[in-house]
């Protein structure tokens, strides 16, 4: 059964490293999420993230861990 997780969070990224931090997250997410067959969407604006993740429940829990 497909499991979906949506959440919003407040980022604490330092402005000096923010762009690189976002690139690092994207790079790791692309790799890990493809391996676990997780799909999703992430938005970042005004220091807040909104992300929806979808996949097998075990996989989504593994990502949360
Ligand atoms: C808002 C947000 C979304 C993330 N989404 C994913 C994701 O979809 N897939 C993934 O593998 N990691 C995701 N990560 C995890 C990051 O790639 C990284 O592993 C995590 O921020 C820990 O980094 P650190 O070990 O440098 O502190 C996300 C992190 C954040 C903050």
Q: Ligand 1 center to residue 52 CA distance, Å?
A: 13
Question: For ligand 1, is residue 13 a contact (CB within 6 Å)?
Answer: no
CA atoms within 13 A on the CB side of 58: 2
CATH classification of the domain holding 49? 3.30.70.100
Question: For ligand 1, is residue 7 a contact (CB within 6 Å)?
Answer: no
Residue ranges making up the domain that contains 40? 2-64
CA atoms within 13 A on the CB side of 60: 16
Contact 54, 40 (CB under 8 A): yes
Per residue in 2-27, pLDDT (tens digit) is 999 999 999 998 989 999 999 999 99
Please tell me the distance from the alpha carbon of residue 1 to that of residue 17, in angstroms, as a whole number: 38
Q: Model's pTM, two decimal places?
A: 0.85
Please provide residue 32's backbone torsions phi and psi, each rounded to the nearest 5 degrees: -65, -45
Number of folded domains that form the chain: 1
Q: Ligand 1 center to residue 37 CA distance, Å?
A: 16
The predicted pLDDT at position 37 comes to 97
């Amino acid at each position: 059964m497909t499991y979906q997780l949506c959440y919003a969070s407040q980022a604490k990224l330092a402005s000096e490293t923010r762009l690189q931090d976002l690139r690092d997250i994207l790079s790791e997410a692309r790799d890990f999420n493809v391996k676990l067959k997780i799909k999703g969407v992430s938005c970042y604006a005004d220091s807040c993230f909104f992300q929806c993740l979808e996949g097998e429940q075990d996989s989504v829990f593994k990502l949360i861990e």
